[in-house]
Chains A and B, each alone.
Chain A
């Protein structure tokens, strides 16, 4: 059967046959780099279109439906427009940092792709501390945002960047603690091992109450971490024009825009891996027939389906809730989410020790 892991091993064997192991490794790295960039481009196009259609339907509108069939080429046309636009650098800005910032934001998003298990036995880097790696690297994106805000020499950008810094640093805590819940339950730090530990049921079902609390907190925290509404204080169109990317135009703006959507995809992929079983099919107890039918669906479809479900959830948040004020935002984190997730981690430790999970 044609699967991602089959293709990967075929390519690997063929490269080892035609050239030396060193060159095979180099070529594999190049292939991975190109396919990650390709995945980024496709995800950017798909997610922007999806966001616009979801937003339109939730606001009883139609959304983009003119360019191509059902408006499917709209985001491609937008990309073309952004490509031919001038990438301005404002006069009073720090030119080097200003031009560097979009790439930092992009690279931080790119690095996060490495440990994600896209399908069964298909992973760029099967690292045994995947969860730790993800939570460490995901905080790097704040550097790109702060750099952009500072280098723009614009008060709105600076304010947006500072807000974003405060926000990401504080929400990192509860996101980390809710990830830790699953680490405690599964006893593993590698993302693939966590997926394998959900063979007999996803953690959100197996871990019952503490896992559900952790899942809700995780979704809230990652919405804040990716700077999306209702936590989009870093951009806050109505207050700060566009926040940290006010001064950016053309392709440099597009990189920030893309990085936002890639970050959303990645945090949803992590959420799907931890709570919804990653590429594991949906199994119910001892229903053999049902489980076999579910096994026929390829693992990559399971992974992308769950990820897109979570992305849809985050978009649903965005188009339902109003934006919080900065003090409400920090109150929510320090007075509600953090105490609850700390209590939750004690609860889950008890559950794990007493083996109360299924």
Chain B
């Protein structure tokens, strides 16, 4: 009984190894289909994953308006101090003071792309952009202000 099991084992092992080698042999002989992205060549047609996280951006509409209320939830959510929200006080038409964002300073060099700020934002003002060519010659260029100059908050966002 032992000896039949033993021989079965040996033949089973050889057979399963042959199956594996058949698979890789197929790939070896059919190498036209390539699964890797040929990155610098296909820059224009590059397809990235839907949820690729490259950097934090703040979308603006055509009237240069964003959805950020300056609530600092993203700053509090950030685990390594990547985001600093500088707030100011706007005067509303009714003459009331209202808190608004002056500068949303984003340190790309500190960011780990953990997505926690995007999750924490109550008004969907920021999102992750699928860009990844971030190399610069000077580190200070990685510190970005996300809201565009002269931009203001969209109507109806509280």
On whether the beta carbons of A316 and B21 are closer than 8 Å, the reply is yes
Q: Say how far B101's CB is from chain A's closest CB, in angstroms.
A: 46
Q: Say how far B35's CB is from chain A's closest CB, in angstroms.
A: 5
In-complex Cβ contact of A61 among B9, B10, B36 (8 A): B36
Residues of A within 8 A of B36 (CB): 60-62
Residues of A within 8 A of B25 (CB): 316
In-complex Cβ contact of B34 among A62, A216, A320 (8 A): A62
Could you tell me the distance between the alpha carbons of A57 and B36 in the complex, rounded to whole angstroms?
11
On whether the beta carbons of B20 and A57 are closer than 8 Å, the reply is no
- Contact string, B32-59, partner A, CB cutoff 8 A, digits 1/0? 0111101000000000000000000000
Interface size, B (range) = 10 to 19
Residues of A within 8 A of B9 (CB): 336
In-complex Cβ contact of B10 among A317, A321, A336 (8 A): A336
B17 within 8 Å of A by Cβ? yes
Residues of B within 8 A of A316 (CB): 21, 24-25, 28
| CB within 8 Å of B: which A330-355 residues | 336, 340
Of A57, A62, A317, most B-chain CB atoms within 10 Å: A57
Could you tell me the distance between the alpha carbons of A22 and B34 in the complex, rounded to whole angstroms?
59
Chain B residues proximal to chain A, CB less than 8 Å = 9-10, 14, 17, 20-21, 23-25, 27-28, 31, 33-36, 38
14 more A-B contacts (CB under 8 A) besides A320-B20, A321-B17? A57-B28, A58-B24, A58-B28, A60-B33, A60-B36, A61-B35, A62-B34, A62-B38, A216-B14, A316-B25, A316-B28, A317-B21, A319-B24, A320-B24
What are 5 inter-chain pairs, A to B, with CB distance below 8 A?
Answer: A58-B24, A60-B35, A62-B38, A316-B21, A320-B23
